[in-house]
Structures are given as C-alpha cells and as structure tokens.
C-alpha cells in the first residue's frame, strides 16, 4: 500500500469517527426481537395472552412436530401478528445431515406450519443448536436467524436469571433467544419484556427488525442481530376517512406504499382472511371499520386502526293509492321507484309525481339522500282482484289464495299489511269459518273469560257445534297459535259427511307420522288423502308445526274447493 493510499485510509477513519456509530447515540429508536424456540407447548397460550396485553409481537421458531400437536396455538400466534418461523421438524443438527435430509426437515416443518395456518408460507429458519455451515446455508433457501442474547433459560430454568440476562445483555438490534417449552421462561421473558419497554425499546418480529434496518432477508444469509444507524418507520395503522356519497359514505383506507390493508366493517378484529382493500367502498349503514396494514401477514402486520361511522338511514317513504295512481311521499331525500319487480336502487327512475298503478302491478320505492343509508324498500301491490298489499309479492306461492280470501272478506289486511308469515290465531280461524257458515246467530248465551265481546258470537257458534273445544281451565285462547293438526281437526269436524278412514293410511308414508296426536289421526288421514294438507316435504307432515296466515289462506281455499 503506497503513501497516498495510506493517507486516504486515515482520512476515511477520521471521517467515520465523526459519524454516529450507534442509533442510541443518535437518539434513534432502539429495536430488539424476542424469539422463542422449540414450541409450541403447554405454556405458549399463556404467553400469547400476556403478549397481547402488552401489544408486543415476537417470533416463534417452531418445531414442526410440535406445531402438528398445537395447530390452534400456531394459528392464534399468526393472527396475533407474531412471526411464525421454522426450527426444523424434529430438531436434528443440520450440519450432520445430507442436503436431502436437511431439505426434508425444512419441508416437514413448513408443511406442519402451513396446515396449522391454512396457507402456504415462507418460514425463516433457526438451525437447532445454532449449528449451521456454508453448505447448509447454501441449501436452505431462507435466511438463518441466530441470536446475540442467549438467556440460557434452558439451563437455569430460573425466571430471575432469565430476567437478568435480558436486562443486562440486550442492545439495540439484539435478537434474544428463549424457549417457550420451559415454565420459568414465560415469567422471566415477560419481566424482561416489561423492563425493555420501559427503557424505550420497540420489540418487533425478526422480519420487522430486518426490514426496519434496511436489511434484505436473503435466502442463505445469516443474521444474529441488526444494529444500525438508520431505522425505517414502524408500520402505521391505516388512515380511515369517509365522505358523503349516494346511499351512504365512501370509505377510503390509506397506508404506506408496499403494504396490503385488511379490514372489516362490522367491528370485528381484522384477520388474514378479512377483506383486502382495493378501492374506496360504500358503507351503507352505521358500523365500525377496523383495518391493519401489512408488509407480510407473517410477522409484518401493523397495529389496527378503528373508526366508528354513524350513517343515518333515510326514513321510509309512504305510498298511497289515489284513484288509479300511486302517490309517494318522503320526509327527506329523493324517491326512486320501480314497477318491474326489481329492487329500487339509486339508479332507478326518480319519482316526480303520481305513478299510474294498474291492477297486477307491484310498485317498490326507496328514499335516498347523500351521506345517508337508503331507506328500507317499501312496496304496494295492486292485485289482480284490486286488493292493496304492502307485504305480498305477486310471485309469492300464496298470492292467489291470499288475494281470493281477502277479496271474499274472509281474511283481512291491516293498512295493506297481510302479514303472511305471522302465525295464524285460533280467533282468525274461527272468524273465517263463522263467516263461511253464514254468521248464524248462536242459540245460547255462552260467554268465555278470554274472548272479546265482538268475537263471542263466532266462538259460541264454534263451541256449540263441537268444532272447537275450550281448554281445561275454561279458556278458549283466541290469540293462541294453531298447529297443523289442530287446524285439520277443526276442518274435519266441519265436514258434513265424513269419509271412511282408509285401511292403509297414507300417513305411514311420512316419517313423522308418530308425532300425530291420536285425537287428530282420522282428521289428518282425511286431510292428506283429500289433498287439503300437503307435507312440508316429501317425507314430513310436521303435525305440530304452526300455521302461518299464508298457509291458512291456501289451506282453507283447497278445503273450500272440495265442496265445489
């Protein structure tokens, strides 16, 4: 080396002396990565609980054979933002294995971790006993992670000793070695972690330690620590912003370039399986958006952001029929409507005045305002027979029966609502039958403790004719529901001529024939053979199932048809 070169070297050394050597000296953040080997085991769940309380992410170098034993723990650690890494399948000394056997150990561990997590991952390797050489490094295909702080927890099995190692030996960029298969390692690690946090350390996963120190986690590279003069920022929680849009609020999630954002809108904790953010989305009702950004789902997740969004819903419009046209009025917002059976959206025709509504037409409408959720859809069906329904659609299986029963005044609507799915009551059945019978006056002056005066005549008629009987306590329970077999039994008693019960009852064709009460057997047999009652499926009659108003309408119509 000539004089010139020597002088240049001297200058460089002097220059280097002026630069800060340690991040600490520069006041930069102090980073350290806590790692646990050999698990998971019986203490790992408790460790995860405690780490979660502290918001600390660590790295687990797991043995494949133990991951297979505790797959739920592996998955929980993964979703908790910890890094899942490999400690081989069965813990051999890799330098003593052939290339093929080294790869077999790694593939076995990766397979066990993949199965537990449910996805294909890349797992950094910690060679058992730290035993690795150039040959092993050349075949593993992932970085080998060693350590700079050995807590010797496997040797001491003493929480105080482990704590002292952590506090005394940790420096900026340290990778700490612990083992979560020893009971004493858990309290020792946690006390050490608390001490490091109070000293201002940021505790991160190994992959985050390398990323933030600008180091590439290259295959075959070996790392034992990552001190550095420069530190990239931690992964920030995504910024959640919302602005008024038609039908709700348009939500934008922004995060650092290179990250992927995972989010939920129902307030639940976002996971690797949550929605991936691609573009601003419309939130149509109040909810809590939670989101995290990740460079890597495995140990590269940032903290979650959370924002509650209040999105008022526009009040539903009101539809009335005036002459031949429907008039729609809304308390707020604009009204959109359809006449073709499709649900109205923000693109549907704008209501500007009365809409002609010929018989057989279904009108549906919503009220909408920017920044608010659309109102519920309201509808008005003007039926073929001229009835008005707010809750019956023309394609409903019961539409024709309901339309006919309402037209004949046997069943009624309330402000246009038929309530087809509501359970029919005993009073409704008795009232229909009474009307069908011509509303003949009852002879006696029966009264029942729980029947309203206006219903007394109908109930007295039903009781006198033996169609309906009271309960043991003297009540008739007019608002009580009807089971299918109770309804059929009443209709059977109404029949003037009772058909002879067939010898080979068709009821045995249903697998639940044993559920039929004996009092209702003949009635059920008659109802099924005459077609009044049909099975709820090909194999079930559901005799104890409740009768809805829609079912009552269609069953009564079929029963009426028998007499014609």
Residues with a known catalytic role: 37, 179
Size of the site for Ni ion (CB under 5 A): 3
Name every residue whose Cβ is closer than 8 Å to that of residue 476 and which is 6 or more positions away in sequence. Answer: 426, 448, 450, 451, 459, 463, 468, 470
The residues facing 414 across adjacent strands are 417
From 2-10, 105-113, 126-134, 494-502, give the range in contact with Ni ion by CB under 5 A.
126-134
- For residue 376, give the H/E element and its range: none
From 127-135, 391-399, 401-409, 414-422, give the range in contact with Ni ion by CB under 5 A.
127-135
Nearer to Ni ion by Cβ, of 38 and 208: the residue is 38
Q: Is the dihedral of CA 479, 484, 490, 494 positive or negative?
A: positive
From 20-28, 30-38, 230-238, 437-445, give the range in contact with Ni ion by CB under 5 A.
30-38
Minimal distance in Å, beta carbon 88 to Ni ion?
Answer: 9
Bond preceding residue 329 cis, omega within 30 of 0: no
From 33-41, 141-149, 256-264, 505-513, give the range in contact with Ni ion by CB under 5 A.
33-41
Nearer to Ni ion by Cβ, of 38 and 428: the residue is 38
Minimal distance in Å, beta carbon 61 to Ni ion?
Answer: 7
Nearer to Ni ion by Cβ, of 128 and 478: the residue is 128
Question: Rounded to the nearest 5 degrees, what angle is found at the Cα of 290, between the Cα atoms of 236 and 193?
Answer: 50
Between the two ends of the chain, the Cα-to-Cα distance in Å is 121
Question: Rounded to the nearest 5 degrees, what angle is found at the Cα of 148, between the Cα atoms of 142 and 152?
Answer: 110
From 103-111, 122-130, 188-196, 426-434, give the range in contact with Ni ion by CB under 5 A.
122-130
Nearer to Ni ion by Cβ, of 182 and 484: the residue is 182
- CA gyration radius, the chain: 38
- By CB under 5 A, tell whether 403 contacts Ni ion: no
Name every residue whose Cβ is closer than 8 Å to that of residue 346 and which is 6 or more positions away in sequence. Answer: 246, 247, 336, 368, 374
Minimal distance in Å, beta carbon 71 to Ni ion?
Answer: 20
- By CB under 5 A, tell whether 105 contacts Ni ion: no
Minimal distance in Å, beta carbon 195 to Ni ion?
Answer: 25
- What's the rounded Cα separation, in Å, for the pair 100 and 104? 6
Lay out the site mask for Ni ion across 128-147 (x = CB under 5 A, - = otherwise).
x-------------------
- What's the rounded Cα separation, in Å, for the pair 84 and 48? 13
Six token digits for residue 376: 């519920």
Distance of CA 387 to the CA centre of its chain: 41
Binding Ni ion by CB under 5 A: which of 37, 105, 180, 403?
Answer: 37
Q: Is the dihedral of CA 345, 357, 416, 394 positive or negative?
A: negative
Name every residue whose Cβ is closer than 8 Å to that of residue 317 and which is 6 or more positions away in sequence. Answer: 328, 329, 330, 335, 365, 366, 367, 375, 378
Nearer to Ni ion by Cβ, of 128 and 248: the residue is 128
Contact 240, 272 (CB under 8 A): no
Nearer to Ni ion by Cβ, of 90 and 274: the residue is 90
Report the site for Ni ion in 498-517 (rule: CB under 5 A).
none
Binding Ni ion by CB under 5 A: which of 31, 33, 36, 38?
Answer: 38
Nearer to Ni ion by Cβ, of 37 and 404: the residue is 37
Six token digits for residue 44: 């790992």
Question: Interface residues with Ni ion (CB under 5 A)?
Answer: 37-38, 128
């Amino acid at each position: 080396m000539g004089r010139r070169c020597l002088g240049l070297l001297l200058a460089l050394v002097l220059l280097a002396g002026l630069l800060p050597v340690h991040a600490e000296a520069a006041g930069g953040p102090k980073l350290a990565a806590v790692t646990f080997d050999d698990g998971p085991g019986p203490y790992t769940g408790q460790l995860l609980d405690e780490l979660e309380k502290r918001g600390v992410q660590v790295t687990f170098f797991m043995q494949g054979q133990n991951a297979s034993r505790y797959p739920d723990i592996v998955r929980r650690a993964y979703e908790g933002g910890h890094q899942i890494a490999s400690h081989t399948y069965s813990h051999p000394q890799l330098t003593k294995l052939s290339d093929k056997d080294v790869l077999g150990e790694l593939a076995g561990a990766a397979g066990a971790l993949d199965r537990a997590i449910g996805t294909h991952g890349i797992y950094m390797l910690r060679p058992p006993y730290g035993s690795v050489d150039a040959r092993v490094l050349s075949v593993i295909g992932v970085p080998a992670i060693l350590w700079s702080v050995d807590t010797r927890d496997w040797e001491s099995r003493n929480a105080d000793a482990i704590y002292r190692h952590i506090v005394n030996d940790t420096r900026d960029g340290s990778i700490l070695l612990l083992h979560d298969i020893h009971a004493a390692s858990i309290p020792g690690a946690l006390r050490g972690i608390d001490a490091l946090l109070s000293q201002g350390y940021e505790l991160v996963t190994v992959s985050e330690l390398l990323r933030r120190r600008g180091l590439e986690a290259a295959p075959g590279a070996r790392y034992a620590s990552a001190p550095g003069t420069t530190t990239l920022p931690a992964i920030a929680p995504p910024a959640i912003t919302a602005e008024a849009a038609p039908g709700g609020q348009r939500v934008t999630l922004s995060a650092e370039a290179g990250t992927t954002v995972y989010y939920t809108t129902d307030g639940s904790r976002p996971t690797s399986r949550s929605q991936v953010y691609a573009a601003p989305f419309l939130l149509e009702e109040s909810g809590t958006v939670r989101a995290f950004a990740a460079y890597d789902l495995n140990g590269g997740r940032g903290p979650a952001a959370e924002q509650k969004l209040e999105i008022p819903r526009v009040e539903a419009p009101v539809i009335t029929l005036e002459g031949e046209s429907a008039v729609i009025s809304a308390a707020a917002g604009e009204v959109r409507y359809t006449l073709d059976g499709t649900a109205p959206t923000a693109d549907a025709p704008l209501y500007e005045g009365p809409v002609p509504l010929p018989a057989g037409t279904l009108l549906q409408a919503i009220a909408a305002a920017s920044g608010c959720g659309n109102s519920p859809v309201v509808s008005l069906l003007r039926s073929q027979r001229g009835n008005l329904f707010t809750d019956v659609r023309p394609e409903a299986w019961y539409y024709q029966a309901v339309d006919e029963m309402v037209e004949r005044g046997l069943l009624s609507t309330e402000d246009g609502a038929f309530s087809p799915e509501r359970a029919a009551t005993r009073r409704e059945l008795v009232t229909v039958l009474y009307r069908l019978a011509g509303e003949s006056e009852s002879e006696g002056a029966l009264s029942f403790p729980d029947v309203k005066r206006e219903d007394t005549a109908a109930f007295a008629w039903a009781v006198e004719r033996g169609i309906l009987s009271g309960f043991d306590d003297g009540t008739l329970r007019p608002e009580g529901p009807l089971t299918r077999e109770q309804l059929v039994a009443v209709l059977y008693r109404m029949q003037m001529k009772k058909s002879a019960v067939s010898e080979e009852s068709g009821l045995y064709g249903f697998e639940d024939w044993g559920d039929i009460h004996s009092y209702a057997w003949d009635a059920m047999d008659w109802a099924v053979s005459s077609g009044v009652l049909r099975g709820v499926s090909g194999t079930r009659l559901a005799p104890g199932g409740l009768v809805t108003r829609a079912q009552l309408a269609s069953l009564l119509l079929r029963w009426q048809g028998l007499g014609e």
